[in-house]
Each structure stands twice: as C-alpha cells, then as structure tokens.
Amino acid sequence: LRTDAYGAIRANEGLYLSSWGQLGASGDQLDLRPAFQQLSTAHEMAESLSQSAAGHNAEPLESNESLKKAGEDTRSPYGNSEVAGGDQSTARGAVDSGGRGQSPGLKAPWLHAAAPAGMTLSTPESTHLAQGHSLGVTSGEDVSLATGRHLIASVSEKLSFFVQQAGIKLFAARGRVDLQAQSDNLEATARHSVDVTSSDQKIDLAAAEEILLVSGGAYVRLKGGNIEIHAPGKVDIKGASKSFTGGTNLMRSMSDMPDAQGPFEEFFILKDKSSGDLIEYARYRVETAEGNVITGRSDGEGKTQKILTSQPEKMKITILDRFDDAEGELS
C-alpha cells in the first residue's frame, strides 16, 4: 500500500491489523486468538494487582472492565449458524457449507493491532493519544519513561501509586523536593521506623498552632507560647550548664498556600434541544458568572470537562461547532 497523496482504511464493523502469520492463507480472516490471549493475560495480571492494591487501602484499577471487554469482543461469531453439517467455526467449514455458517468476527467496531515481535511508533514531532473514557497500560515486565525535558501530569481528581514488593524511590540530583497538601492534611506513616535526616544543614519544624511529640505516654507540647513536658515516669535533664531565665520568643513566617479551586465542580451533558440526541465531540465554550471562560470538546457521551467554581453560580454554554454538522439548539 503506497501513495503520494492521501490514504485511508475504513471498516465499519471493525478492523484487525496483525503480523501474526497464517501459512498458506489457511486461517480465518479475523482470527484474533493471539490478540485475545494477550488481552486475557494482561487482564488477569491487572486484576490481581488491582485487588492487591485495594487490600492495602490503595486505589484499584478502574480501567480493568474496559480491558476485559476488549478481549471478550474479539470472540463474537459472524454469519448464520443455522446450517446442517460441517464445522462452522472456521472459514473452511463455512466454504464447505456453500459459503454459509459462522466465522470469527468482532462484536463491536474495534481497531485491533497485534504483533508477535513488538510494535513501534516514531515521529520527529509530537504524538497524541485521546480517548473519551479510560486509558489502560499493562506490561508483563517493565514500563520505562525517559524525557529530555519535563514530565508533567495534571490530574483532575486523584493520583495513587501502589507498589506490591520493592518499595518506592524518589530522588532529585539537583533542586528542591517540594511536597504540599494545599487544602488538607499531609500524613506519613510507617510500620517500623521513620527517619528524618539532614546530612549538611538543619531540620526545621514549625506549626502555626501546635507541635505535639508523644511516645510511651510521655509528651512534649508546644502550644500558645507554652511548653508542656509531661511524663508518667522520670524526666531526666542533663547538661554541663543549665539556664532558666525570663521569657522570649522567635516568630516564624508561614508559607502561604494558594486557594484550592472549588469546592463546587460539575460536568454537563450536551443534548440537542429538539431531538434529545447527545452532542458528541463538539467544541463548546462555558462562561461563568465570575467572568471565567472555559473551552473544550465534549466526549463520546456528550460530556464536558468538569467545571470548577468557588461558589454556586449560573453558566452559559455555547456550542462552537458540531462533529455531526447537525443543526439544532442546545438543551
């Protein structure tokens, strides 16, 4: 297949691209058994890790059902099964029955690509993946990322990492490691020891209201300009010299946190006012009462992105263009 102009491959009921061989053209055109086996193996591994994550209070994998469906939809027979005699499960059996019978097909118009040796995508420019629902990546061994500049992720709701065996490492050869919870608590918990070390300089602990150290029933509380040292047993203070003088204080400025967006958030479903049909893949503009303008494109279910506002307010949604080129007002 070669052209100096445009090229297109269209298949209304699904398309299978494969480099799995069929010697002597002896197999079925849509023999997706290699793809099904790979998808089934991936689903089993992902499901096992997902259950393990949930058992450790981490987030399960929500895309597993889509992965399972991708495999199941490769095993839908095509044709008429009401034919007497012969094996109708293969193309040869269908031919022997006068062209009637069943052969492997696709349940939905999927695009499947399968290869025994591997796949590559390469371009000197950019690559984009876009989907209306989930994106699942399952690897039997490693997933490696290497970037010449930045690795940036913007997540609307939550970010969860779970490791079953070998732990997590986060290193910065240069620059600061900055971890912030801008509208809630920051928690660090370990079954065994928690070590905090500064190899060259200092450890600085500061709190706007209170610092509390507790162990074995004894505690030290710093609150409201006072220090409480209480213990159920002995309090041992040793030093070459001790100084107990009048009061003094050290003021510490606290870092300002940006105000979190929300807490009001909602998406909208675009429907044609006259027909009630979903308006899919349409460009839209949302104008809020505060004067903010958000633009985007609806997904395959007519949904917009989530709109965040600081308070309940009215919004105006305008359709900029429609993928189906249909006329009609927005409901």
Per-residue pLDDT of 123-135, as tens digits, reads 899 988 877 777 8
Query: The pTM is what?
Result: 0.64
- Per the domain annotation, does 141 fall within a domain? no
- Per the domain annotation, does 1 fall within a domain? no
CA count, 13 A, side-chain hemisphere, 304: 22
Checking DSSP bridges between strand 111-114 and strand 15-18, what pairing results, if any? parallel
- Per the domain annotation, does 56 fall within a domain? yes
- Per the domain annotation, does 136 fall within a domain? no
Query: Residue 65 is part of which domain span?
Result: 15-114
pLDDT the model gives residue 79:
65
- Per the domain annotation, does 10 fall within a domain? no
Segment 83-92 long-range contacts (CB within 8 Å, at least 24 positions apart): 90/28, 91/27, 91/28, 91/29, 92/26
- Per the domain annotation, does 256 fall within a domain? no
Structurally, the chain folds into a number of domains equal to 2
Residue 86 burial (C-beta neighbours within 10 Å; 0-12, 13-18, 19+): middle
Q: Which of 114, 137, 167 is the last residue of a domain?
A: 114
Q: In sequence order, what are the residues at sequence separation of 6 or more whose Cβ sits closer than 8 angstroms to the Cβ of residue 1?
A: 7
Q: Which of 56, 80, 114 is the last residue of a domain?
A: 114
- Per the domain annotation, does 149 fall within a domain? no
- Which residues in the chain show pLDDT less than 50? 84, 326-329, 331
- Average per-residue pLDDT for the chain: 82
What is the distance between the alpha carbons of residues 144 and 32, in angstroms, rounded to a whole number? 28
What is the distance between the alpha carbons of residues 114 and 41, in angstroms, rounded to a whole number? 14
pLDDT the model gives residue 212:
95
- Per the domain annotation, does 191 fall within a domain? no
Q: Which of 114, 140, 164 is the last residue of a domain?
A: 114
